[in-house]
Structure 1
Amino acid sequence: MPVGGRKDSRFGQLLRRGFTDPTAAGRLLDDPVLRAAAADGVLLDALGATADPDLALRGLARLAEAQSRGPALLLDTLAAAKPLRDRLLAVLGASEGLADHLARHPDDWQSLVAFETADLHPGTQEFEAALAPAADADALRVHYRRALLTIAARDITGTTGFAETAAELADLATATLRTALRIASDAAPEDAARCRLAVIGMGKCGGRELNYVSDVDVIFVAEPAEGTEGAEGPALQAATRLAAHMMRLCSETTAEGTIWPVDANLRPEGRNGPLVRTLSSHLAYYRRWAKTWEFQALLKARPVAGDAALGDDYRAAVAPLVWQAVERENFVPDVQQMRRRVEESIPAGQAERELKLGPGGLRDVEFAVQLLQLVHGRTDTSLRAATTLDALGALAAGGYVGRQDAGSLDASYRFLRTAEHRIQLYRLRRTHLMPTDDADLRRLGRSLGFSGEPVHELTAAWRRHTAVVRRLHEKLFYRPLLDAVARLDAGQVGLGQDAARERLVALGYADPVAALRHLGALASGVSRKAAIQRTLLPVLLDRFADSADPDAGLLGFRKVSDALGTSPWYLRLLRDEGAAAENLARVLSAGRLAPDLLLRAPEAVALLGDPAGLAPRPLPALGQEIQAAVRRADTPEGAVAAARGVRRRELFRTAAADIVGAYATGGASADEAPGPVLDRVGDALTDINAATVAGALTAAFAARAEPEPLTRIAVIAMGRFGGHELSYGSDADVIFVHDPLPGVPEQRAAEAAFAIVNEMIRLLQLPSVDPPLLVDADLRPEGRSGPLVRSLASFAAYYRRWSLTWESQALLRAEPVAGDADLGERFIGLIDPLRHPPGGPAEEAVREIRRLKARMEAERMPRGADPTTHTKLGRGGLSDIEWTVQLLQLRYGHELPALRTTRTRRALAAAAAAGLLDAADAEVLDEAWLLASRVRNAVMLVRGRPQDTFPADTRESAAVARYLGYEPGEVGRMLDDYRRTTRRARAVVERLFYEG
């Protein structure tokens, strides 16, 4: 008789409750065994709440039929007791394996009738009591399955969470090993009397985080029994027999099936080594022969059975070896390589389904956590937890992993392990593969709480969690600081005051007392911030010591840390993001300029953690940002302050990229020679200053508040500015041109243009903590005596009548950088005939250029300066090369378009390509120009102010040498190389410029 009315009505009810085969379910419900129990719908509701209602119903029918005294007691109890109903049906709906056990042992359902308070979280003692009646392998399996049934019931109904379930499974395994060893000892009392045998749990058993179906990893250690000292051989033989028997009791398949394999392959020498060793034999092996992975495995070593005192002795003896393992050569790379080998060993086609071994799987979490433990646990005992989630929590509490990252890993690990548990529970088989069949996915999804569209929701959650795990694994497992921390001497971490002072002196710190004061301020206390600093500082101290001025690096780090002390992202960035800490150490210890820029805007530290953060920003984006900031400002002064703030940040970006590249590879970035790197610095500095000048011009226009614009203005870059060859300390050489708008009188337009340009210069010269941008307009017609700004027509008239040779030469580097673009192009059209004259300059003009150059060498060289090392005016310096190249441009630029460039190196290359000088001579000049330019940049980076000679201060000279790629102590070699390079260049200049 159909339940609840017509058959089609019940069919629909079954579908709504989650049955996928309502026809088969209806037949079972119509069976006399279940018909009465299902009549009121309560049973159907309970079945519908399970992971697989069809499976649960079939299991219930089998169990009811198997009742030796009839199903009434079972079904009546189910009807009356909701907790039992929920537990039993939940198990039957999730585990065909446990349903099979209940069908074989139909009275075991009664173990689920009541959970006393003491039963909610049973431990090893409770499980031992439950297994105590077992006297042989079959009985041990029956009692084990009954205990497993209670764990599964608590797990599936949510009475316990994943961590508690995994711990209970490990405790049940511990009780099972103890019971098996007791049975083996009872079978061979003479062996038991001859030895002390301890069983050490390893892996997930040792860590109290076991799966439902898993190998149980163990190691055996034995000693002669009390009173039989010296009989080591017989004791080991007896212990080996006991251990082997114990393993068989758990591993072998009997009429009652198997429990799980006991795997002793983590022992010394693996399966090739003796099954049982003495403690001294274990220690001898670990000290001499053990591989890195063996110490990683020992993280979870825990005595679980046998002689407790011997087990404790084993744990106490091997623990120091575990925490010293990080000092082994290539420790971190070895662990990382081992993880890669695990991934490579996954059979083809299974990687994407692997919950355990695949990318984003459980091993990713476990390896990352264990590596962090081994590296940092050497000095921080709070990290020495055997359980993955406990260790992860300790790493987060200690600041070694960010709280958000740790929370994400914790949630993903729980999800993946719970999914693994449910998959194994289904047929009590060892597997870590996500199923592919929709029915299996549906059951799994419903068991995890996905009730809407279980397959889709499960798959989406699984992909999301594996993506999170993989991302964080890559971030933590391959963290650059790890290898650096591991390679530090043990004594270098957590030193006492005297030892620390000696260590600092050995590292090159000139003021160890001040250094200790900084270290104390940064790392003392129990705060999370101090804990993270204690992780960073050992590595940073070494990085600072690699520089010419370790004390300055440490002081800079303290200042930045103090400035950003309340910013939660700062220390997290240094700990987690790529090479941020390494880059910061290089920047802070390279000189004054970059640290000064950083201390004025400490938030720029974030640039060091982004792989693209040190790439120069393109001029359009930079200009757009500055213009937007200028327009938002309420006053012209505020507008230029905003523009200066952007400039400061971009100067830091450029300087940091330059320093990081120089320190990383001894003078250039990883895949580039110094030339392209210097060109990129010059381009970046030019774009920064161009965008800043444009912003100031916009602010000046706004300050005039004219009802209508009166004139257009263009800013023309000159000198190194126009040549895209700015150094960090260069002025911005410019000339200003304006063009009155139609109908505006020339005089009125000129007055407006002067007022605007003058205001722009005033705004840029306002006192500020930001690096100054000095606008120099002395290259304009008539120099300082001439008008600050001229109209385009006035320029044309001047150049027609009064233009001098030096002005034509100066105009070779003219390039519009700000203001009205069309006016700038028209100005370039005006001056092109002057700087690239047809037929070249007259001979008298050439002689004038040579006279000017000779006079400049004689008059402008600072008194007392060494002409062999002055980068600008000295022998073979910048002026020599630039004037030589410019003379070639003046002579041949009209005929050779490739020479019409504002950039020295491009013009030199074009001249060589055209045969105007030998390739060897061009190479000599290019090398000298590059070297002199790099020295100027290095000096500015080191001293924080421009200088055209090498610093006199010993540390500053050493820092310049370090930037240029020299080793410590090679300042003399640097100077010799500079003099040799520029001497060769001067010889070429003498031939080409003065004689050619």
Structure 2
Amino acid sequence: MDPIAKPGTGHLARFGFTDNERTEAMAGPDGLRLWDPVARRPADDDAADVLDALYFAADPDLALFQLSRLAEAAGAEVLAEVRRDKALRRRLIGVLGVSATLGDLLVANPDEWRELLGEQNRRPAGYSTRDVSGVPLLRSGYRRELLRIVAADLTGAADVEVTMRRLTELADATLQAALDIAVAEQGSGACTLAVIAMGKCGGRELNYVSDVDVVFVAEPDGGADTETAMRAGSALAARMMEICGYVAWPVDAALRPEGSRGALVRTVASHLAYYRKWAKTWEFQALLKARPAAGDLALGERWLAELQPLIWSAAERPEAVDEVRAMRRRIVDAIPRAEVDREIKRGPGGLRDIEFAVQLLQLVHGRADESLRTPSTLAGLRALIEGGYVGLADGEALLRAYRFLRVVEHRLQLQRLRRTHTVPDDPAGLRWLAHALGFRPNAARDAVESFRSEWVRHAGEVRRLHAKLFYRPLLEAVARVPTEQLRLTPDAARARLDLLGFADPVGALRHIQALTGGVSRTASIQRQLLPVLLSEFADAPEPDRGLLAYRQVSERAGNTPWYLRLLRDEGPVALRLARLLALSRYVTELLVHDPEALRLLADDAELVPRTAEVLTEGFAAAAARHGDPETAINAVRALRRRELFRIACADLLGLLEVTAVGDALSAVTDATLRATLGVTAAGVPLEFTIIGMGRLGGHETSYPSDADVLFVYEPPPGMADDAASAAALTIAEDLRRLLSRPAHDPPLGVDADLRPEGRQGPLVRSLGAYQQYYARWSKVWEAQALLRARVVAGSAPLGARFLELADAKRYPSGGLAKEQIHEIRRLKARVDSERLPRGADPATHTKLGRGGLADVEWTVQLLQLQHGYAVPALRTPRTLRALAAATEATLIAPPDAAALEAAWRQASRARNLLTLIRGRATDQLPRQGPDLAAVASVLAPSAEPQEFLDEYLRVARRARQTVERIFGVA
């Protein structure tokens, strides 16, 4: 009969039947006598129990039809037992309602229903080969045992794991019985033969309808030569396969060396020769499930033992991880497009996703951890969970999904005892499957909707976790570590530390022992991570620094449940962390005081600097949550620290171009000043603005930069000048104090030395005072300083009025007078001779050296002062934009502009990197040593440090020549 098509009507519909008239005929007085059509109710209490059992069948109509046929074939006894025996009733009706094929077999063999009597789970597994001395007996014995397994499965007496194990035991017994029959027919010949189970049979997770994958191993016996033995073994193997195909299922030997083209039977030595020289990664992956199943088990165990070293070194192949991943993609690509979303085995979110993830983790980590060496998917997954390779929640989700999907697969195959893994797409087929899985309609949804919801949930989890585990970047890194170095025993670790170039192997070993000691889950995960991290630290100029920093961060964050899980599971976090800690004291210090920031490394999107608007809003909101000024600004500084970490990591990882770093750092400083001004100026009836100067004004802030500013205020009408000045001074002094006070968060120095009269002048001035000063006293260097002036915080209207004032000074009509140009050149010469620190190398000083930042910036600023009044595009605080505008206006030749830009970018990056590497401000690029190597590893990863230095000097010399020609420095 067809699967249930739609809910029925009539009095029998409540029992799940779809055809009231037909059902009454079969269940009524002229049939099974279960239904009283006159009273429209069950014939008696026993009949009611039978009808209730029929309701819970996958297809009640089919179950009733097959029960009627069976009663006709087997006689009244079967009906009497069904009425009397509750256990038999559930088993028999479950079988009859789920599988038309099994029902037909029972009808054709009417005495076999008795196999379902009694205690099912106490029966011995499989069957004795003494009782199956011929093929027909073997076939009937197989069928009877299969019937018992199905009944236990459908009634919940055996869960899916027990069912898979019993099916595998049945397969093993069938293989052995078939081999015994072949030997009885042909004689044992001149060989001993072992049958190796592979695939699902090898993993003890066989389903109802599947090929049984095997490999045959034979050895000469009784003095026979190898050729004769192999002929005999091949004949036995071929006959065994033929018998199994007739009895139960096809036997597939295609996983043998060379596949279907290779010899059916090989010796142990022949297998070893093949796997040593020719085998692909997928063949070793297949061997993960190899298990002696029949024949000479001792020979099978010897074969497997000989192969173990080859299996567990396969992941060391450079291409191994990629090959396993490529194989999974090919499997998905081979699914017909119309079926891909319904394939519970091969499709995305299906069984293969779980199996491939588990197997890849086994191949990579099982080299050093023998607890992972199991052929069973579920046992392997549990071992991965226990060993800390898979998170508890993730692992449990995969276990649940695997069990659910295998049950779905089993039900699909039972219907016709056909090999299928595709969920039907027709309504009737879906309803049958939902019922077969135990889903029933309720007030909220029908059975199909309930099934779909469960299926979609599990498939979604599998897709997510497969991607997370299968494409974990750490896998490639672990696979690159030689097997003997994965075991962090003291001797192995010490030898590896020497090999990797650690300067203090004894100290490094102490760090490793502190991190990995004990039997805790934390120590277990650290033992997985450290072999890989040590390799990453070794790629840095100072490996010891990276390991020490890692221990510091781990001891600060290691007890939090998310920390090691993040390193193990989340994308590139572990490898990125290793690189950052080995390179940067600055990043290490930030992270030690803010371990939560580590989460940013999981996603490139999290390393994108926040916009000025987002930062301003977030910093202001943090300050507003606290009434006390110090607490409020502590919250602002904590946010600033997190943003500095974000920018520094993105910079070191090559995700930010140098001008983007300057923009990002300037935006953070702007937001910090705005939030702090909002606290210190709260409630003060005064217009107050902060003007950014220097690198802050030019959006070119570097990591060591203070915030160069001017403080400007305007008293409201009616406020005395003295009172307004005092209020403005308090605002500015409180702002500077709150941002520089000692704390875990990096201080922000607020430098107002570019104000009129420098340090001798008032810290704050009114706009009118600035107007008076600039009109009467200002010098040309102050006009040069104002080139970078922009409003960063406070009153925008007041800031705009200040910039109008600044424009008159920085873009003077007609440009500069000759004496002013001479003064700028004199000042530049003085800077070159007096401000370069004693002992500094002028060739490699990034700020004041030849071809350094000052050279480029003073040259560009001279052009702005001379021509800004006539070329509007020059009116920008940004160095490179002004240089581009000067080039566009033909004030500088393109080759010269390119030389200046290259030098400015290189010096800016090197200066930033030196700060990140050393953890403190420095402008001197060393000519040798680990700091030079660290800078080179970021700026020129393919070059040797000396090659990088030579290129730095070449670029700087060219820029200096351009400066001398344009700026006029002799």
User: Same-fold call, TM > 0.5?
Assistant: yes
CA contact (8 A) 2:693 2:786 kept: yes
* Superposition map of 1:500-511 within 5 A: 500-511=493-504
| TM-score, normalising length: structure 1 | 0.93
Whole-angstrom distance in 1 between the partners of 2:365 and 2:730: 64
CA displacement at 1:965 relative to structure 2: 1.7
1:337 corresponds to 2:326: yes
Letter in 1 for 2:966: L
CA contact (8 A) 1:654 1:681 kept: yes
Whole-angstrom distance in 2 between the partners of 1:514 and 1:864: 34
CA displacement at 1:24 relative to structure 2: 2.4
Residue by residue over 1:746-784, the C-alpha shift from the partner in whole angstroms, topping out at 9 and shown as x without a partner, is 332222111111111111121123222111001111211
Aligned to 1:51, what secondary structure does the other structure show?
coil
CA contact (8 A) 1:809 1:890 kept: yes
Change (3 A) 1:514 1:10: closer
1:248 corresponds to 2:234: no
CA displacement at 1:81 relative to structure 2: 1.1
- 2:208 is aligned to 212
Aligned to 1:118, what secondary structure does the other structure show?
coil
Letter in 2 for 1:791: S
Select the residue among 221, 245, 262 that pairs with 2:217: 221
CA contact (8 A) 2:607 2:650 kept: yes
* Structure 1 stretch displaced more, 496-505 or 48-57: 496-505
Select the residue among 578, 583, 598 that pairs with 1:590: 583
Change (3 A) 1:372 1:36: closer
* Structure 1 stretch displaced more, 426-435 or 457-466: 457-466
Whole-angstrom distance in 2 between the partners of 1:902 and 1:16: 82
CA displacement at 1:30 relative to structure 2: 2.5
Select the residue among 471, 484, 492 that pairs with 1:491: 484
Change (3 A) 1:845 1:208: same
Select the residue among 671, 675, 700 that pairs with 1:691: 671
Whole-angstrom distance in 2 between the partners of 1:831 and 1:951: 39
Whole-angstrom distance in 2 between the partners of 1:163 and 1:741: 82
Please provide the CA RMSD for this pair: 1.8
Task: List alignment gaps of at least 5 residues for structure 2.
Answer: 1-6, 36-41
Change (3 A) 1:17 1:894: farther
1:233 corresponds to 2:232: no
Aligned to 2:765, what secondary structure does the other structure show?
strand
CA displacement at 1:347 relative to structure 2: 2.3
CA displacement at 1:193 relative to structure 2: 4.7
- 1:942 is aligned to 917
1:625 corresponds to 2:618: yes
Aligned to 1:589, what secondary structure does the other structure show?
helix
Whole-angstrom distance in 1 between the partners of 2:8 and 2:570: 59
Aligned to 2:263, what secondary structure does the other structure show?
coil
Select the residue among 793, 805, 809 that pairs with 1:830: 805
Provide the identity percentage.
Answer: 54
CA contact (8 A) 2:25 2:31 kept: no
1:105 corresponds to 2:109: yes
CA displacement at 1:47 relative to structure 2: 0.5
Residue by residue over 1:505-548, the C-alpha shift from the partner in whole angstroms, topping out at 9 and shown as x without a partner, is 22111000011111111122221111111111111111000001
Change (3 A) 1:136 1:79: same
Letter in 2 for 1:976: D
CA contact (8 A) 2:120 2:152 kept: no
1:779 corresponds to 2:775: no
Change (3 A) 1:164 1:10: closer
Letter in 2 for 1:283: L
Residue by residue over 1:194-253, the C-alpha shift from the partner in whole angstroms, topping out at 9 and shown as x without a partner, is 32111111110111000100000111111122xx1243222222221111111111113x
Whole-angstrom distance in 1 between the partners of 2:287 and 2:294: 17
- 1:820 is aligned to 795
Select the residue among 15, 25, 28 that pairs with 1:27: 25
Residue by residue over 1:669-710, the C-alpha shift from the partner in whole angstroms, topping out at 9 and shown as x without a partner, is 4xxxxxx710111111111111111222122124xxx5xx32
Whole-angstrom distance in 2 between the partners of 1:45 and 1:424: 25
CA contact (8 A) 2:845 2:852 kept: yes
Aligned to 1:937, what secondary structure does the other structure show?
helix
Aligned to 1:128, what secondary structure does the other structure show?
coil
Whole-angstrom distance in 1 between the partners of 2:136 and 2:755: 104
- 2:823 is aligned to 848
Whole-angstrom distance in 1 between the partners of 2:646 and 2:205: 47
- 2:3 is aligned to none
Whole-angstrom distance in 2 between the partners of 1:91 and 1:743: 97
Residue by residue over 1:626-665, the C-alpha shift from the partner in whole angstroms, topping out at 9 and shown as x without a partner, is 212212224211112111111111111111111112xxxx
- 1:980 is aligned to 954
Change (3 A) 1:12 1:750: farther
- 1:263 is aligned to 252
CA displacement at 1:553 relative to structure 2: 0.3
- 2:61 is aligned to 54
Stretches (4+) displaced over 4 A: none
Letter in 1 for 2:112: D
CA displacement at 1:561 relative to structure 2: 0.9
Aligned to 1:658, what secondary structure does the other structure show?
helix
How many pairs were matched up? Answer: 951
Aligned to 1:198, what secondary structure does the other structure show?
strand
- 1:744 is aligned to 719
- 1:993 is aligned to 967
Aligned to 1:395, what secondary structure does the other structure show?
helix
Residue by residue over 1:693-730, the C-alpha shift from the partner in whole angstroms, topping out at 9 and shown as x without a partner, is 1222122124xxx5xx3202111110001111111101
CA contact (8 A) 2:8 2:16 kept: no
CA displacement at 1:84 relative to structure 2: 0.9
CA displacement at 1:161 relative to structure 2: 1.0
Change (3 A) 1:837 1:726: same
CA displacement at 1:591 relative to structure 2: 2.5
* Structure 1 stretch displaced more, 975-984 or 887-896: 975-984
* Superposition map of 1:155-234 within 5 A: 155-189=153-187, 192-225=188-221, 228-234=222-228
Aligned to 2:215, what secondary structure does the other structure show?
strand
CA contact (8 A) 2:191 2:224 kept: no
Letter in 2 for 1:65: E
CA contact (8 A) 2:345 2:352 kept: yes
Aligned to 1:799, what secondary structure does the other structure show?
helix
Whole-angstrom distance in 1 between the partners of 2:804 and 2:96: 89
Whole-angstrom distance in 1 between the partners of 2:722 and 2:140: 109
- 2:52 is aligned to 45
Letter in 2 for 1:248: E
Residue by residue over 1:258-288, the C-alpha shift from the partner in whole angstroms, topping out at 9 and shown as x without a partner, is 5110111111111111111111111111111
Whole-angstrom distance in 2 between the partners of 1:28 and 1:744: 104
1:515 corresponds to 2:508: yes
Whole-angstrom distance in 1 between the partners of 2:969 and 2:264: 90
Whole-angstrom distance in 1 between the partners of 2:577 and 2:8: 71
* Structure 1 stretch displaced more, 725-734 or 768-777: 768-777
Change (3 A) 1:908 1:36: closer
- 1:402 is aligned to 391
CA displacement at 1:848 relative to structure 2: 1.7
1:78 corresponds to 2:87: no
Whole-angstrom distance in 1 between the partners of 2:454 and 2:400: 11
CA contact (8 A) 1:162 1:414 kept: yes
CA displacement at 1:803 relative to structure 2: 2.7
1:681 corresponds to 2:661: yes
Aligned to 1:737, what secondary structure does the other structure show?
strand
1:568 corresponds to 2:561: yes
CA contact (8 A) 1:481 1:575 kept: yes
Whole-angstrom distance in 1 between the partners of 2:627 and 2:837: 45
* Structure 1 stretch displaced more, 845-854 or 716-725: 845-854
Whole-angstrom distance in 1 between the partners of 2:194 and 2:167: 20
Letter in 2 for 1:22: N
CA displacement at 1:995 relative to structure 2: 7.2
Select the residue among 588, 595, 603 that pairs with 2:596: 603
1:360 corresponds to 2:360: no
